[in-house]
Structure 1
């Protein structure tokens, strides 16, 4: 009876679903402009761009508006969803923490399968950090605020760099002692394997996974920022922010203004420092000196993207509750309800579009504008499919699989008349 009652869906806060769908719009567009990290070209080589002026704009948009900001929203909503599940179970007198750990193990498996298609699939990282979130959720909100602040300030990055510098002398001495005979005079040649899904999956699960873990938990520290967003989502849930968001319109506007001004202020501070590229390879290159100004700029960039994401969230919420606009934005709700399925479908389609063993010879040399429009087309197609699917079914395919595996019991999938009212609230 506990399994049945716990798995029965309660009334949904549709703005959360719509916001998740909105976040996935930015995710697919960024990944498309990055060719999903796959670069394959036809025998004709790289063709001349068809829309050079628009290409520049699309790259600017992807870099300065979309990249990092929309995946931040997705991460924030993950922490919020964690709270909703824990809270609803608690109302039924059930401790869901252990069940959530098992849920994260299942998510890890799903993510590893997705990683075969797209090496930067974020779900394995979410699964690892989700387990950490279970333990952190025992702390009071004040403590969580402090932890989130330390993560946003780049504390893990500072600790790693400080540790490296303590060992720098020993590393230099060891490198000097190595004789020329010990060093290979010629680098081993990199043999290109025949393009195939199997070879691509093997690379994604080995070299790709290693690079992803370095990006997330190395000096670049993307994973620590994700953890901070998980915590902020949990805190927002504790404050019942979204349960009253439709009533607190003045608060919504003030938060939007605050996040916007905060973003502009931080961006202004960044310009006071020497220009730095704070990307992943900056922190990984052995010859790049990690200066205090670089660390400050990296910290400010992290804070700026979080504030920018906050402004996007509040702007979306304000528009969602406007009579003339909200009904159109609500079209994204079915997409967001199938967020797991749609995210993985994005990755699979991106893999097929750009891989040399699939359609990479066709789309691999497309310019930024073309792949951006292709991403929009994929997104619109997914919206249509999501709406059609949820007319007959309670969950998306992966959501149903995840739910059934969570409770180790096959969950209902097809809608019956008594369930329709619950899902249209």
Structure 2
């Protein structure tokens, strides 16, 4: 009798991925704790001096250099990797998982929007949209995905946006004789806004309008964090295709060489960056910035 195909048929889990996922979640929680979960102003509360300033400084350095941003990157990478594992294992059972995955992303998007009513820094809705894109990228060859990752990491979407804004600015200057300031909302992390009548409904409305706009501006505007996240999603897909974590227990020498190579690369890159004068390169991403003086200072 032919075995019935089912999503529930169990397959062996990859323990190291489960461990990394838990490790990444812990790091994300620690980062948000340090950032006070997006609450950056405390009206009526003074800043107290730490009881142990040296320990406080050491912990701050550890959070900034070893935790903040790193675990969020790992979590995004694991999302892309988990996407491949789900698609691949369903394919081995003869099941097309794309519709089920899209349904899951729809549910995740709804959960993200509900979460955004309470906390504007919620990332689930962004992950859901990227998850939909991953379905369309799944059949692409690795070299195409690598090109996409490279373009995202070098900031091509932001370069195109800035170039367009500069062209509009030049055109306005030519037509009116005066440069019109383009609409520029600072791409800062979402922060709570003051409301005339604080209530849950007003807070939710504020978070789903102004707060959501600020989040999108942070993800795809000046900081461009969303493009990095999407690149990590795609990288997870590629690593999944290579069966890297399925062989991690038997390829210990390879893992050690890769680890040493990554550590050396970090040291070299930081050394090269230190050779250049300090420069806030994000000024190039401002829609109303005159980038010529900034370029001359480099």
TM-score range relative to shorter protein: 0.7 to 0.9
Partner residue in 1 for 2:178: 176
Partner residue in 2 for 1:131: 132
Structure 2: how far apart are the matches of 1:118 and 1:160? 28
Structure 2: how far apart are the matches of 1:292 and 1:147? 27
Please state whether the residue corresponding to 2:96 is helix, strand or coil.
coil
Please state whether the residue corresponding to 2:178 is helix, strand or coil.
helix
Deviating more after overlay: 43-52 vs 162-171: 43-52
Matched, 1:11 2:25: no
Matched, 1:217 2:220: yes
1:144-173 deviation per Cα after TM superposition (whole angstroms, max 9, x unaligned): 112112212222122222222222212445
Q: Is the 8 Å Cα contact of residues 165 and 287 (structure 2) preserved in structure 1? A: no
In structure 2, the CA distance between the partners of 1:220 and 1:177, relative to structure 1 (3 Å rule), is: closer
Matched, 1:106 2:107: yes
Partner residue in 1 for 2:183: none
Please state whether the residue corresponding to 2:130 is helix, strand or coil.
helix
Structure 1: how far apart are the matches of 2:296 and 2:253? 38
Which residue, out of 267, 270, 273, partners 2:270?
A: 267
Structure 1: how far apart are the matches of 2:177 and 2:103? 45
Q: Is the 8 Å Cα contact of residues 90 and 97 (structure 2) preserved in structure 1? A: yes
User: Which runs of 5 or more structure 1 residues have no equivalent in the other structure?
Assistant: 179-189, 297-425
Partner residue in 2 for 1:243: 246
Structure 2: how far apart are the matches of 1:176 and 1:197? 44
Partner residue in 2 for 1:226: 229
In structure 2, the CA distance between the partners of 1:256 and 1:2, relative to structure 1 (3 Å rule), is: same
How far off is 1:113 after superposition?
A: 1.6
How far off is 1:127 after superposition?
A: 0.6
Q: Is the 8 Å Cα contact of residues 151 and 225 (structure 1) preserved in structure 2? A: yes
How far off is 1:285 after superposition?
A: 7.8
Structure 2: how far apart are the matches of 1:282 and 1:29? 31
Deviating more after overlay: 148-157 vs 250-259: 148-157
How far off is 1:196 after superposition?
A: 4.3
How far off is 1:85 after superposition?
A: 0.6
Matched, 1:46 2:47: yes
Structure 2: how far apart are the matches of 1:234 and 1:169? 41
Partner residue in 2 for 1:70: 71
Q: Tell me how many residue pairs correspond in the alignment.
A: 283
Partner residue in 2 for 1:201: 204
1:197-255 deviation per Cα after TM superposition (whole angstroms, max 9, x unaligned): 44433322221211111111224211111111111100111111111111100011011
Partner residue in 2 for 1:390: none
Structure 1: how far apart are the matches of 2:179 and 2:261? 56
1:37-69 deviation per Cα after TM superposition (whole angstroms, max 9, x unaligned): 113536453333333333323332222222211
Q: Which has the higher contact order (CA 8 A, sep 6+)?
A: 1
In structure 2, the CA distance between the partners of 1:131 and 1:174, relative to structure 1 (3 Å rule), is: farther
Q: Is the 8 Å Cα contact of residues 105 and 127 (structure 1) preserved in structure 2? A: yes
Partner residue in 2 for 1:253: 256
Partner residue in 2 for 1:338: none
How far off is 1:8 after superposition?
A: 3.6
Please state whether the residue corresponding to 2:6 is helix, strand or coil.
helix
Q: Is the 8 Å Cα contact of residues 165 and 288 (structure 2) preserved in structure 1? A: no
Q: Is the 8 Å Cα contact of residues 157 and 220 (structure 1) preserved in structure 2? A: no
Please state whether the residue corresponding to 1:237 is helix, strand or coil.
helix
Normalized per residue, the structure richer in helix is 1
Structure 1: how far apart are the matches of 2:33 and 2:16? 26
Partner residue in 2 for 1:276: 279
Please state whether the residue corresponding to 1:6 is helix, strand or coil.
coil
How far off is 1:284 after superposition?
A: 4.3
1:249-287 deviation per Cα after TM superposition (whole angstroms, max 9, x unaligned): 0011011011111111111221122213456x8844845
Deviating more after overlay: 81-90 vs 268-277: 268-277
Structure 1: how far apart are the matches of 2:75 and 2:45? 39
